[in-house]
Amino acid sequence: MHALWNHVLANCAVILFVILAWTNLPQGKTVSDRREQLKLGAFFGLAALLVMTRPIEAAPGIQIDLRTIPIAIAGFAGGWPGALVASAMAGAYRLWIGGQGAIPGFSTILGFAVLGAVCGMLRLRDRFPFGAIFGFSVLVTVFDLLIISIMPEHDTIDALRHQMAIWAGTIFITTYFASLSVQAELRRRDIGRTLKTYEAVIQSLPESLNVKDEDGRFVLANQATAKLMRVSSAGDLIGKTDFDFYPPDIASAFQADEQQILAAGTARLVEQKITWDDGTAIDLSTLKAPLHDPDGQFLGLITHNRDLTEKRRLQRALLESEKRIKAALSNMADGLIMFDANLNVVFCNEQYRSMFPLTADVRVPGMPARQILETAMARGELTGIPPEQATAFIDSAMSRLKLSGTVEFPIYDGRWVESRTTPLDDGGCLVVCSDVTRAKQDEQELRELNQRLSEMAMTDSLTELLNRRAFDATLATELERAQAADLRLSLVLIDVDRFKAYNDTYGHTSGDQCLRQVAEVLRAVARRPGARSARYGGEELAVVLPNTTEEEAIRIAHDLRQRIRDLSIPHMGSEKGVVTASIGVTTLCGSADRLLTSAQFIGRADQALYNAKAAGRDIVRCWQESNQHFDRPLQARG
């Protein structure tokens, strides 16, 4: 009987040895890969062959061993391909041995291969849950006991039947722990593939990303970090600190920042500057954050560096060219998401999810990109898209994920996001998202500044009326419009009487104040739609009056003259005793004026103004086609 259990233990050792050899094979893509299934079936078929070389002669021509365990596991872990290879190897060997039990033995091999494959199909998608392994082990044990129970009477078989509980325990324990070993290896391979995915994501980032331990030594770095620190590869950084690469003062400053962040235990965005010995300077926006495992244990300090050197250069250039604004570029922590060839999420970081708080719960691995977009539309995170255009928008966005490019779009809380898409060789894509809200605001501020500068270029700084250039452009536009549509257009020229004498008597400061008061009168009186007041030059002012007849223009001119006089500004250098104004008026009318130029039109008003001054000043004169100039009586306001 001891020989029986020695053979059994030898069988168990063979099975465990083959499993150990299989775990040291180079791994393929996944366990569902056909080559991996065939390879697994071959190894467990080999295990069956080896245990069959150490059989127990239960009866003449009938052998008992643990071949059923590796054959069943081949089907359970490797599916039908694994079951087919293992059963073919073991079955062929059993038929080659021959004997009374050849056909039943071959049938038993096929039966356990089918049992394993069926159990493998019925198990959950998770990698060998413990309940499934337990149930599988029970089935293998039960079927093995059934086979022993139908064997013919023999001393060895009878002895084995008397110790059926021990035999059943041996079968169950061997099957269970062998399956657990396979499970552990498959989980290890899954983790290895996941780590490779994470490494690909990190290495594909265009900006520096690295992790340091609590002593400041690099434990992980991408190639962008190596480029930033002027070394050939990221591997040259591992195990070293900033003091091995940067000048001491810079390394000390970086270390101080990191110690503060570690002490606070929270992420922090800082601005750093690197100045190399050759004088080259790099401005960095650096996001540093403590990294912990799910149990809260400290893993390292993660650092994301963004090179701001070029942006700062552009900022300085903008300051020099505009000289009126200070452009501020915001520091942005990028969000990253990776899609596979079917546009399902493979990976996304927390920065990306935090950019989209309304849909953060669906921006997770395994989620289709289309479902993310549909959820964002349904929850109102994406704005400015009419409901009837939602499907077309989503289709367009899905198409853009296959192409390299950059798009900007607003979201619900007023922020703007820039999305940069990079196709990958495997058919998937990498999308980097940045918050560009501040940049958008800077653009708006620049547009507003340009608008203000444009207005300043058209405005007289003293009177805040239109300047001469703006007046000429306005008059030309209104004259062309009036001539084209046969509309009335009037022009009023105002000259402050004896203004040089006023300046000589009261000084230029008082003269400037006088002109401001006269300009206020123009703004108060010339309120007609489209009316534009201007400082024509020196003490001369002008008012362009679209859609205004001659009678209406003369009324306005008289009103202006009287209101200027009513200011009662003392003027000892004038025969009137107060500041007054002479005014010339001209009006465009009739087809005869269709070819009149701006210069000719101004000349008419200027001639009328000259006549007003020649007639004694403080007078309104109107130019007439008959070249008769007269003073229209001032009608009472009312």
Catalytic residue annotation = 539
8 A C-beta contact, residue 230 and residue 277: no
8 A C-beta contact, residue 191 and residue 27: no
Report helix angle 499-506 to 508-525, nearest 10: 130
Pairing relation of β-strands 56-59 and 218-221?
Answer: unpaired
478: Cβ contacts below 8 Å, ≥ 6 apart: 489, 530, 544, 546
SS3 430: strand
Cα 119 to chain centroid, rounded: 46
Alpha helices in 265-349 (DSSP H): 309-322
Angstrom distance (rounded) from CA 508 to CA 511? 5
Residue carrying the six token digits 């994470």: 198
Angstrom distance (rounded) from CA 9 to CA 2? 11
CB count within 10 Å of CB 331 equals 16
CB count within 10 Å of CB 120 equals 23
Paired with 544 in beta bridges are 491, 532
Angstrom distance (rounded) from CA 446 to CA 456? 15
8 A C-beta contact, residue 33 and residue 82: no
DSSP states along 36-83: HHHHHHHHHHHHHHHHHTS-EEEETTEEE-STHHHHHHHHHHHHHHHH
Cα 242 to chain centroid, rounded: 30
H/E element holding 268? Answer: strand 268-275
Angstrom distance (rounded) from CA 11 to CA 532? 107
First-to-last CA distance in the chain? 134
8 A C-beta contact, residue 585 and residue 554: yes
DSSP states along 379-392: TT-B-S--GGGHHH
